[in-house]
Amino acid sequence: MNKQTEACEAAKTLFEDHGDEIYRYVRFALGNCNDTEDIVQDIFLKALCSWSKFEHRSTSRTWLWSITRNHLKDVIRKKAREKNHLLIGTERLPDVAVHDPTIHLELEDSLRLLTLPQRQVFTLRVIMDRTNIEAAQILGWTPLRVRVTLHRALKKLEGLLINDC
């Protein structure tokens, strides 16, 4: 099997095995961004293009999560630059909140108010039911940092959701 075919097969397997969880993670980490599908596609394209550089020192899943985390950092930086560029010389307009009686949408709105690390940990630990150790491996953190960040995220969400009632 040539390297190109091997890379395609690996990307296909990674997508089949982890595509849904990567999608959910990106969606929640970015606060229900309209570009989620494009971002996930970019992540898997990066995995495909860099498969030949994968040294197999970790699992392919861990490697894919590393690509995901780094790509999200780039996306967030780019969005921040674009937002700052658009706001120069103009008044900041208030964000329009989506009012829907469902708890799911309230949670999504509240998740947008968490810091990026808090959203990442909340998504991995609560929504995707990962262990502290798995979340730590994915984020490149210690399990203690994951626990502390989750605790802070839950406290903040509790305050946000109680104030909405």
pTM score of the predicted model? 0.58
Which whole number is the average pLDDT over 56-66? 87
Residue at a domain's end among 31, 65, 93:
93
d(CA 64, CA 45): 11
Hey, is 82 helix, strand or coil?
helix
Task: Report the Cα 85 to chain-centroid distance in Å.
Answer: 24
Residue at a domain's end among 76, 93, 110:
93
pLDDT band at 147 (very low <50, low <70, confident <90, very high): very high
- Is 68 found in the same domain as 4? yes
The closest of 75, 82, 60 to 9, measured between CA atoms, is 60
pLDDT band at 107 (very low <50, low <70, confident <90, very high): low
Top-confidence residue, 154 or 163: 154
Which amino acid makes up residue 150?
L
pLDDT of 58 reads: 84
- Is 85 found in the same domain as 24? yes
Residues spanned by the domain of 133: 98-165
Sign of CA dihedral 121, 127, 132, 136: negative
Structure tokens at 15: 């997508």
> Residue 90: pLDDT above 50?
no
| CATH code at position 63 | 1.10.1740.10
